[in-house]
Structure 1
Amino acid sequence: MIQSKMKWKFTYRDPEESNIGLPGVTPLTQQLLEKRGIMDPAAADSFLNPTIEQLHDPMLMDGMQRAVTRVNDAIASEEPILVFGDYDADGVTSTSVMVEALRKAGALCDFYIPNRFTEGYGPNKEAFQFAFDSGYTLIITVDTGIAAIEEAAFAKELGIDLIITDHHEVQEVLPDAYSIIHPKTSANYPFQELAGVGVAFKFAQSLLGRFPKEFLDLVVIGTIADLVPLKGENRVLAAIGLKAISRSTRPGIQALRKVCNIDGEMNEETIGFSIGPRLNAVGRLQDAGPAVDLLLSENQEEAEQIALFINQLNQERQKIVTAIAKEAEEMVCCKDGEAENVLVVAKEGWNPGVLGIVASKLVRQFDRPAIVLAIDEEKGEAKGSARSIDAFDLFSNCMEVRHRFKHFGGHAQAAGMTLDINQVDGLREDLIQLAQEKLSEEDYQQVLDVETTVDLTDITLKQIEEVNQLRPFGMGNPKPLFHLKHTPKEVRLIGSKKNHLKFQFQSEQTRVDGIAFGMGDLYQQISPHAALDVVGELGINEWNGRKNVQVMIKDLSVKEWQLFDHRGSTHIEKNIMIPPEEAFVAVGFQGETQAPCNLPVVQADSVTQGDSYDGVLLIDLPGRVSEMRDLLTKIKGQKIFVCYHLKESTFLKTWPSRDHFKWFYGMLLKRGSFNLHKEADLLAKRKGWDRSMVEFISEVFFELDFVKMEDGIITVESEPSQKDLQESSLYREREEQLQMERTLYYSTYNELKSWFDQYVNQPVKHVKEEVVNGL
């Protein structure tokens, strides 16, 4: 048995019960649509075929008309405009969209992105003062500003008109700005989950008076990279944006393609794992300006130089993350050996720009909300980022302890904050207390939301291509996870470090590969022919023009007990892995005291009913099959390892039949005597027996009083008793030994497993001694 590491949540109905009735779509795909709340053909068609027409009128947003009018007045009077952005991928794409839109509208404009290290997140008074001193009296924020209460008041004092466009969570009080464009402050706007770049795009559309499709290649980056729900307008913008970025001629996009080694069509994974991280890396390590310069560049050579620089920054960022994550993990692990309900770690010298990534790593490793802070002793501050588990809303819970922060903002699953150093311990205690009050043990276990169970025959190229019509996948529209139960034909380790597993599942008509990254440690825990339960994503692996279906495994389990066959092996310890948290024991029958892996050894006759272990090693053979049966009915084990050897085999010796006994007795009657010492080898050679068979027959006859034996001379008793061969204890012992070897040593794996299945972990019952004639 192998326990799954995550909690599998099965909430689906039978695919045949689907009610959509969409022509040309399989019941499985219809079920996926229903689970996403799409219950009729019209809604399904809109979801599967997103178009521009599904987007809402940007003028429905509060503050839009007022903002557009103000910008047009600035353009008419040649008043310069400053775009104030953020330093993440959403922020730099928002900035790029807004700057390019303003310039297309005829505005004089520039952009300003605060330095994460010297200024922190969001608008600040020093930046606004600098803007005013530089001649700006109109500032437009993008992807930031909704929490800038004091900064907005300061701008007003300076005489700056502040237009805020943002999408982050709205706090108790709104800034006193000239105009606020935010979906969540607009009661009449139908969709409230736009990314910052989506809001900027809506502004650009209103300002230009047309649909600016030339910005879609930027909109898709910010929308996917910022992890907003990919439903409603976000789904439309991401879907049509992926098509736009795939054919984009923008020099910055082309340059990013080159450094990321991207060929062909882009998808959400291309954005999320290649382009987004590189754009994010700039603001994590320095001023984010180069990222905007890259996206706005009109010169291919310039764009490629910037892209190479950004790629180098990303490589540096990866090294920094690895080093900090290692330190943070050690700080977590040293707390009484177990992670607290909420992780809050802080250290001087950590780079604040990468702490969100480190927090994500801690969440994945420990299944706990995590806050990672960099301490600045000179300022007396701790600044950092937080990430959370599904069951713990970071924004709402941190708002309950808002007094701990100097600055705070974010979402349910991600946030940024600044606080005084002396508030760190109090914050930790408060959040741990809130988690204890609100969360159960199950909430700390990562949940896999399983779409449905599929048979191996369901996993076809056609079905996977149909499922991919639900793309782009992301927040709010997760990539479907499927449950499959099947016995793999083959399991092997792959990868340069042999830390990944590859399975081959096969039926009469179907072959599916299963890839489990990072699960190589389970290799020795999966027995041959074990029925695996796996949860994973369906995919297509294309190599040299050939397409093969595969399952990218996220988690697996084995729900039945497992048999590991090491009979006769001389390298047992290399093939057995004992997890430190599991209880293993070695059991002997014949007084054996040495066991692999230095396990404690107990003798079978001392095992009591109900003794339970995770693993049981059988280190020697019993004298008879019934002894093994009795042990298996008493002891409970999820993994049983047969590790015994056979020093001398009865099975490989010739077993005499009743005809052999009759012939030998007849020969004695005819001859009168037989010299076992001198004639046994000659007789064995003439009859095609071996000497041990001659000796065995002689000893059985002697025990049954059929013959006399003296100094190796065998003679027939004058009045032999009438006895059956079964009355000979020697005969019975040899028969039992033969039966034991046949059953427990010379059987095939499947035969042995089948025999063990009768007794392992079965309810206690009285079983009659079985008569085994072979298997």
Structure 2
Amino acid sequence: MIQSKMKWNFTYSDPQKSGEGLPGVTPLTKQLLEKRGIFDSESAEQFLNPSVDQLHDPMLMEGMEQAIARVKRAINAEEPILVFGDYDADGVSSTSVMVEALKKAGAICDFYIPNRFTEGYGPNKEAFQFAFDSGYTVIITVDTGIAAMEEADFAKELGIDLIITDHHEVQEVLPDAHSIIHPKTSADYPFQELAGVGVAFKFAQALLGRFSEEFLDLVVIGTIADLVPLKGENRILASIGLQAISQSKRPGILALRKVCSLEGDMNEETIGFTIGPRLNAVGRLQDASPAVDLLLSEDMEEAEQIATFINQLNQERQKIVASIAKEAEEMVSSTEGEAENVIVVAKEGWNPGVLGIVASKLVRQFDRPAIVLAIDSEKGEAKGSARSIDAFDLFTNCMEVRDRFIHFGGHAQAAGMTLAIEQIEGLREDLIQLAEEKLSDDDYQQVLDIETTVELEDISLKQIEEVNQLRPFGMGNPKPLFHLKHTPKEVRLIGSKKNHLKFQFQSNKSRIDGIAFGMGELYPQIAPHASLDIVGELGVNEWNGRKNLQVMVKDISVKEWQLFDYRGSKHLEKNILVPPKENYIAISFQGRTEAPCNVPVYQAGEFLQDTTVDGLLLIDLPDHMSVLTDLLSRVEARKVFACYHLQESTFLKTWPSRDHFKWFYGMLLKRGSFNLHKEADLLANRKGWDRSMVEFISEVFFELDFVKMEDGIITVESEPSQKDLQESSLYREREEQLQMEQTLYYSTYKELKKWFDQYLNQRFKHVKEEVVNGL
């Protein structure tokens, strides 16, 4: 038995009860669409075939008309406009879209992105003062600004018209800006989940008076990288944006593709795991301006130089993240007991730019909301990022303790913050208290929403292509997860560090590979012939022109007990691995006191009470089978290790049949006597027996009073009573020993497993049956 690490939520319903409004699609596609709230053919058509015709009019956004009018006045008056952006992938792509759109409209403009380390997140007075001193009278924020109350007042004092375009969570009070363009402050706008670059794109459309397809290759970057829900307009922009970026001739995009060795069409994973992280890396380690310069560059040579530099920064970023994550994990693990309900770790010297990534790693490892802070002792402040689990809304809960922060902003699952050092402990205590009040134990376990259970024979290239009709996948439209139950033909470790698992599942009609990254520690816990329950994503691995079906495994479970067959093995220490926090015991029937891997040894007779263990090691065999069956009836075990061996085997000796006994007795009657010491070997050689069989027959006859034995001379009793061989305790013991060896030692794996199935946890099975029958 292997317990799944995550909670499996089987979300599908009985297909006979589902809606009937989706003609023309297969049952699987129908089920997937209904799971996403799509029950009619018109909605299905729009979802499966997103197009620009489905986008909303940007002028429906509150503040848009006023903002566009101000920008056009600035263009006509040749007033310079400053685009104030953010330093992440959404921010730099938003900045690039806005700058390019303003220039196409004829504006004099430039951009400004605050330095994460010297200025922090969002607009600041010093930057606005610099803009005023440089002659700017209009500032347009992108992907930031909705929480900049003081900065908006300062801009007004300077005489700067501040236009805010943003998508982050709206706080209680809005800034006093010239215009605010934000989906969530626009009651008439149908879709509220646009990314920052989506809002900038809408502004560009309104400014240029047309659909600006030339920006789609930028829009897709911020939309996917910022993890906004990929539904509604975001799905449309991501879908057509992926087509655009795959065909883009923009030098910056081509340079990124070259440095990342990207060929062919891009998908959401390319953006999320390759393009996005590199653009993010610039602002994490330094001023983010080179990322915007790359996207706006019109020169291929310049773009390649910047892309190479950005790629080097990303490699440096990876090393820094690994170092900080290791320290943070050690800080959490060093606390006594399990991780606290909310993790808050802080240290001086950590790079604030990568703390969001570190927080994400902590959330994945410990299944807890995590805040990671870098301490600046000179300023007396701590600055960092937070990531959360699904059940804990960071924005809502942190707003309940807003007084603890100097600056705070973000979403339900991600946030950034600055606070005084002396507030760190209070913040930890407050958030732990809120989590204790609002969350249950189940909330701390990651949930896998499973679309459906599939049979191995039903997995095909056509089915996977059908699933891919729902792409692009992401937040709000997760890649479908499927449940599969099957016994793998092969399980092996792969990877340079042997920390990944590869399965081969095969039936008469189908073969599919399973890849479980980072699950190598489960290898010694999976017994041969174990039936695995796995949850994963279906896909195709294409190599050298061949397409192989595969499932990317997210979690593994073995629902029944497992047998590990190490009978006669001399390498038990290498084969048996005791997982941390699991309870393993060894049982001896012959008085042994040592077991492999320092597992505690108990004598069989010590177990008088019912016992539950994770692992049960049987290190030798009993004299009587009943002793073992009695033990098994009182032990509930997830795993049983048969690691005994035989010093001397009864099974390998010749076992006498009744005819052998009959012939030997007849021989004694004819001869009158038999010298066991002198004639046993001669008889054994002549008959093709072995000496032990001759001795055994003789001892059984003696016990049954059929013969007399004196100094090795055997003679027949004159009037023996009639008795069956079974009346000899020696015969019964040897017969039982033979049966035990045959059953427990010389049997096949399947035969041994079947035998244990009869006796293991017999009492517990009986109790469960009684309960069911009683109900």
Distance 2:765 2:55 in 1: 68
Query: Structure 1: how far apart are the matches of 2:491 and 2:21?
Result: 40
Which has the larger displacement, 326-335 or 275-284? Answer: 326-335
What letter corresponds to residue 200 of structure 2 in structure 1?
A
User: Deviations along 1:664-705, whole A, 9 cap, x unmatched?
Assistant: 111122222222222222222222211111111111112212
Unaligned runs of 5+ in 1: 767-775
For residues 258-312 of structure 1, give each alpha carbon's deviation from its aligned partner in whole angstroms, at most 9, with x where no partner exists: 1111111111110000000000000011100000000001111110100000000
Query: Which residue does the alignment assign to 2:493?
Result: 493
Aligned to 1:224: 224
Whether 1:721 and 2:735 are equivalent positions in the alignment is no
C-alpha distance in structure 2 between counterparts of 1:727 and 1:373, whole Å: 81
Kindly tell me: are residues 507 and 15 of structure 1, through their superposed partners in 2, closer, same or farther at Cα, counting changes over 3 Å? farther
Q: CA deviation at 1:458?
A: 2.3
Query: 1:720 is paired with a residue of what secondary structure?
Result: coil
Q: Quote the offset at 1:379 in angstroms.
A: 1.3
Amino acid corresponding to residue 370 of structure 1 in structure 2 = A
1:306 and 2:306 matched: yes
- Output the CA distance in 2 between the equivalents of 1:665 and 1:472: 86
Conservation of the 8 A alpha-carbon contact between 2:673 and 2:713:
yes
8 Å Cα contact 1:18-1:27 kept in structure 2: no
Q: CA deviation at 1:21?
A: 5.1
Residue aligning to 1:752:
752
Matches within 5 A, 1:57-68: 57-68=57-68
State the alpha-carbon separation in 2 of the partners of residues 345 and 628 from structure 1. Answer: 51
Amino acid at match of 1:173: V
The residue that corresponds to 1:684 in the other structure is 684
Amino acid aligned to 1:672:
G
Aligned residue for 2:615, secondary structure, equals strand
- Cα separation, 2, equivalents of 1:609 and 1:659: 46
| Equivalent AA in structure 1 for residue 275 of structure 2 | I
Which amino acid counterpart does residue 101 of structure 2 have in structure 1? A
Match of 1:619 in 2: 619
**Separation (CA, whole Å) in 1 of partners of 2:198 and 2:332:** 38
Q: CA deviation at 1:119?
A: 0.8
Q: Is the 8 A contact 2:453 2:482 kept in 1?
A: yes
Contact 2:534 2:556 in 1 (8 A): yes
What amino acid sits opposite 2:141 in the alignment? Answer: T
> How far does residue 20 in structure 1 lie from its aligned partner after superposition?
4.2
Q: Secondary structure at the match of 2:762?
A: coil
Structure-to-structure mapping, 1:259-338, within 5 angstroms: 259-338=259-338
- Contact 1:164–1:181 at 8 Å: present in 2 too? yes
1:422 paired residue number? 422
1:568 counterpart residue number: 568
The answer to whether the 8 A contact 2:634-2:763 is kept is no
Aligned length, in residue pairs: 766
Partner residue, 2:97:
97
CA contact under 8 A between 1:358 and 1:372: conserved in structure 2?
Answer: yes
Distance 1:617 1:336 in 2: 30
Q: What residue number does 2:457 align with?
A: 457
| SS class of match (2:162) | strand
1:5 is aligned to 2:8? no
Aligned residue for 2:255?
Answer: 255
- CA separation in 1, counterparts of 2:238 and 2:765? 62
- Any conservation in 2 of the 1:564–1:640 contact (CA below 8 Å)? yes
For 1:197, give the aligned amino acid. V
- In 2, Cα distance between the equivalents of 1:765 and 1:720? 49
Q: In structure 2, how many angstroms separate the alpha carbons of the residues matched to 1:412 and 1:608?
A: 53
State the Cα distance separating 1:734 from its structure 2 match.
0.8
Counterpart of 2:553 in 1: which secondary structure?
strand
SS in 2 for 1:751: helix
Q: 1:670 maps to which residue?
A: 670
CA distance in 2 between counterparts of 1:641 and 1:178 reads 74
Query: Post-superposition shift, 1:174?
Result: 1.0
Q: Counterpart in 2 of 1:772? A: none
In 1, are the aligned partners of 2:282 and 2:313 still within 8 Å (CA)? Answer: yes
| Aligned-partner Cα distance in 1 for 2:93–2:393 | 27
Separation in 2 of the partners of 1:234 and 1:765? Answer: 53
Cα shift readout 1:525-545 (whole Å, capped 9, x = no counterpart): 111111111111111111111
Verify the 8 A CA contact 2:21 2:39 in the aligned structure 1.
no
Map Cα deviations across residues 23-50 of structure 1 (whole Å, 9 max, x no partner). Answer: 4432122111111100111111110110
Q: 1:261 to 1:20 in 2, by over 3 A?
A: farther
Residues 382, 420 of structure 2: 8 Å contact kept: yes
Check whether the contact 2:408–2:418 (CA below 8 A) recurs between aligned residues.
Answer: yes
- In structure 2, the partner of 1:703 is 703
1-structure distance, mates of 2:334, 2:494 = 33
Alpha-carbon distance in structure 1 between the residues aligned to 2:409 and 2:606? 64
- Matched residues in 1 for 2:275 and 2:404: separation? 35
Give the CA deviation at 1:420.
1.4
| Contact preservation (8 Å) 1:20, 1:30 | no
Indicate if the aligned counterparts of 1:15 and 1:30 stay in contact, CA closer than 8 A.
no
**Distance in 2, Cα, partners of 1:727 & 1:425:** 79
Deviation at 1:207, TM superposition (A): 0.9
The one-letter code of the counterpart of 1:56 is: H
In 2, Cα distance between equivalents of 1:746 and 1:293: 73
Q: Counterparts in 2 of 1:22-171, with a 5 A limit?
A: 22-171=22-171
From the superposition, tell whether residues 353 and 635 of structure 1 become closer, same or farther in structure 2 (CA, over 3 Å): same
Q: Output aligned runs, 1:233-248, within 5 Å.
A: 233-248=233-248
Offset from partner CA, 1:456-479 (integer Å, 9 cap, x none): 122211111100111111110111
Deviation at 1:435, TM superposition (A): 1.0
Is the CA contact (8 Å cut-off) linking 1:505 and 1:514 kept in structure 2?
yes
The 5 Å alignment of 1:198-597 reads 198-597=198-597
Q: Is the 8 A contact 1:15 1:28 kept in 2?
A: no
Which region of structure 1 is more displaced relative to structure 2, 257-266 or 277-286?
257-266
RMSD of Structure 2 on Structure 1 (CA): 1.3
Q: 1:13 to 1:355 in 2, by over 3 A?
A: same
CA contact (8 A) 1:591 1:603 kept: yes
Residues 124-149 of structure 1, C-alpha deviation per residue, up to 9 Å, x if partnerless?
11111111111110111111111111
Equivalent residue letter for 2:400: E
Residue aligning to 2:610: 610
Question: Which residue in the other structure is 1:773 paired with?
Answer: none
| Counterpart-to-counterpart distance in 1, 2:694 and 2:331 | 74
The match for 1:195 is 195
Preserved CA contact (<8 Å) 2:145 2:166:
yes
CA contact (8 A) 2:618 2:641 kept: yes
**CA distance in structure 2 between the partners assigned to 1:465 and 1:388 by the alignment:** 33
In the TM superposition, residue 720 of structure 1 has moved relative to its aligned partner by: 2.0
Bigger shift: residues 229-238 or 380-389:
380-389
- The answer to whether the 8 Å contact 2:167/2:182 transfers is yes
CA distance in 1, matches of 2:627, 2:154: 87
- Distance (whole Å) between structure 2 residues aligned to residue 331 and residue 716 of structure 1: 83
CA distance in 2, matches of 1:90, 1:371: 22
Alignment deviations for residues 162-186 of structure 1 (CA, whole Å, 9 cap, x no partner): 1111111111111111111111111
Q: Distance in 1 between matches of 2:41 and 2:84?
A: 43
Task: Give distance in 2, aligned partners of 1:87 and 1:106.
Answer: 26
User: SS at 1:264's partner residue?
Assistant: coil
Query: What is the rounded CA distance, in whole Å, between the counterparts of 2:645 and 2:471 in structure 1?
Result: 56
Return 326-335 or 279-288, whichever deviates more. Answer: 326-335
Amino acid aligned to 1:626:
S
The offset of 1:709, in angstroms, is: 2.1
Distance in structure 2 (CA, Å) of the matches to 1:72 and 1:156: 20
**Contact 1:20/1:41 (<8 A) preserved:** no
Letter in 2 for 1:47: F
Q: 1:112 to 1:764 in 2, by over 3 A?
A: closer
Cα offset, 1:336, TM superposition = 2.3
Name the CA distance, whole Å, in 1 between partners of 2:80 and 2:536: 53
Greater displacement, 24-33 / 516-525 = 24-33
Distance in structure 2 (CA, Å) of the matches to 1:156 and 1:169: 23
SS in 1 for 2:759: coil
User: What is the identity percentage for the equivalent residue pairs of Structure 1 and Structure 2?
Assistant: 83
Question: C-alpha displacement at 1:108, in angstroms?
Answer: 1.1
